[in-house]
């Protein structure tokens, strides 16, 4: 009986899960090109500049656009200049008593 319940529960879980939709935009690149074809449009997001995309779109049915999901890499930490070490005091020589 327990095996039957587990079988039903497993089947329900498998069929209840819906497939995740594929993301059209790659957040790694700032510019995308949407290319149109007989079977619909395809989004290609692997351009680093608008000029590069326009060169790639030459002769094709494509449109370049800014990637709305682009996430720029985090800025590198600026090194903090450390202050120069303080000069050590010069020890004074002891005077001899005459």
Each residue's pLDDT tens digit, 52-93: 999 998 988 899 999 999 998 888 888 777 777 777 777 667
Whether 17 has a pLDDT exceeding 60, the answer reads: no
Alpha-carbon distance 4 to 66, whole Å? 53
**What is the average per-residue pLDDT within 17-39?**
79
Predicted TM-score of the model (pTM): 0.53
Whether 31 has a pLDDT exceeding 90, the answer reads: yes
Q: Using pLDDT thresholds of 50, 70 and 90, give the confidence band for residue 51.
A: very high
- What's the pLDDT score for residue 15? 60
Alpha-carbon distance 32 to 27, whole Å? 10
HEC string for the chain: CHHHHHHHHHHHHHHHCCCCCCCCCCCCCCEEEEEEECCEEEEEEEECCHHHHHHHHCCCCEEEEECCCCCCCCCCCCCCCCCCCCCCCCCCCCCCCC
């Amino acid at each position: 009986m327990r095996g039957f319940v587990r079988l039903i529960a497993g089947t329900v879980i498998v069929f209840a899960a819906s497939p995740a939709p594929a993301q059209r935009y790659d957040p790694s690149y700032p510019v995308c090109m949407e290319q149109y074809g007989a079977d619909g449009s395809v989004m290609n997001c692997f351009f680093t500049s608008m000029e590069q995309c326009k060169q790639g779109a030459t002769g094709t049915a494509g449109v370049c656009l800014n990637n709305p999901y682009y996430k720029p890499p985090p800025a590198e930490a600026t090194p903090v200049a450390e202050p120069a070490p303080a000069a050590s005091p010069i020890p004074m020589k002891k005077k001899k008593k005459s």
